[in-house]
Amino acid sequence: MPIKRLALLALLLVLVTSPLASAVQSAFSYLLPVDSTIGQVIEPVGGSVEMLTLQALGSPYDLAWLERYVPGELHQSFVHTYDQLLASLLPIRDVLIGQAILRGTLYEVPFRTLSGRLATGFFVWYLDEDGETFLVSLSFTYT
């Protein structure tokens, strides 16, 4: 008889504390803030377009940068359009990255710089049929 009561008490204890444990876990988990210009701020994870954006913003703009992030057939037009801007802006160390917005096969990744010349912008990445990701466009707005 006492074993049945003990088993029943243990079962009751598990049933009562399980929702409490979940509530405690969610109380200690957190979301990064929502920024008024870029939306939900995130911590980029490896292999994501958000991480690619963070890496591209944090690297100096040179030929290696261009070859790593921009498809070869777009090099000439990309340099013509963005060369002066990227040369004066990169690398950026202090930046907030927002959650990517998927638009068909394009990912728009918003960001906001926190040091130097303050700016907000988007990197637009193309995901091709082979799973390769390329930078095809970007925008900057100085604040």
Q: Are residues 42 and 63 in the same domain?
A: yes
Quickly count: other Cβ atoms within 10 Å of residue 137's Cβ.
15
Q: Are residues 47 and 107 in the same domain?
A: yes
Q: Which domain holds residue 2?
A: 1-30
Tens of pLDDT along 15-45?
A: 555 554 444 444 444 678 898 899 999 999 9
- Total domain count for the chain? 2
Q: What is the pTM of this model?
A: 0.76
CATH of the domain at 44: 3.10.450.630
Q: Are residues 50 and 97 in the same domain?
A: yes
Nearest to 127 by CA among 96, 93, 104, 109: 104
Longest CA–CA span in the chain (Å) reads 85
Q: Are residues 104 and 75 in the same domain?
A: yes
| Tokens (6 digits) for 8 | 């029943």
Tens of pLDDT along 78-134?
A: 999 999 999 988 999 899 999 999 999 899 999 999 987 789 999 999 998 888 899
Nearest to 55 by CA among 91, 24, 88, 29: 91
Q: Are residues 62 and 125 in the same domain?
A: yes
Q: How far apart are the first and last CA of the chain?
A: 74
Amino acid present at 134? F
* Residue 108, C-beta contacts closer than 8 angstroms, at least 6 positions apart: 100, 101, 122, 123, 124
Q: Are residues 138 and 99 in the same domain?
A: yes
Q: Are residues 86 and 58 in the same domain?
A: yes
